[in-house]
Amino acid sequence: MTGPWGLTRPTEGDIVRGGFSTPWDAPLVPPFPFRFRNAEILTLYWRTDPEALAFLLPPPLEPIGDVACVHVYRMHDPDRLGPYGEANVMVGARLGDREGAYSPYLALSSDGGVAHGREVHGQPKKLASPTLEVRGDLVVGRIERNGIDVLTGTLAYKQRAVGPEALKPFFDFATNLNLKAVDHIDGRPAIRQITSRRLSEVTVHEAWAGPCTVELRPNAQLPIFRLPVVEPLVGFHWRADFTLVPGEIIHDYLEAA
């Protein structure tokens, strides 16, 4: 059925296809794939409490090492979503012989990004205000939520150029692991999965490395402080293009049960 404004009413077949989102005449969640151009990223690694790291991993994931990292993004030009800020806290994890990085906390300033992350990937995204800026000779990344700077990280500006291979010294964060949990309206579990995805068509334009600082402040709604900074390790400031594509289910709790 063709309605006003040049819109076509979806059929039942349209509704059950992948990529469908509501409201159907102005969908919030973009379908795959969509491209991110000139994303600017501050990546900071720190050594943390290995028991705290292991506590945040859902079984059957197992920890890799005792290092956490945060990526603070300034998304300059993504399809559909428009410019926004994002932050992804990650820890090394494995499932059998598959290794990657699990995200216990994500924060961003885009409602479409929050919805897509939670509905599709199962990422624990919450609305916040991550920012990335250069202050003189210092790169500063912040995650603000509820008026509190939950994380503040710094890196000296462009002191040592490195290649893309240097960006992952402790674990392969390009393979992102997430816990997806969705219930039916009657409270029964509908989805309980460990999902995995890798970015596609990645082009790193430049990358710079150096010593970093990471400061955490408690916030009960975004408790990154539960991964305490034992020792700041290394930071990277880099720019890249990439495409977000479908991932895969690597563990289904309901099928296993």
Residues with catalytic function = 125
Q: Across the strands, what pairs with 232?
A: 46
Q: Scan for tokens 């300034």, then name that residue.
A: 74
DSSP state letters, 170-208: SS-TTEEEEEEEEE-TTS-EEEEEEEEEE-EEEEEEEEE
Beta carbons of 202 and 242 less than 8 angstroms apart: yes
Q: Scan for tokens 């990471």, then name that residue.
A: 214
Q: Which residue type occupies 206?
A: E
**Angle CA 185–187–188, to nearest 5:** 105
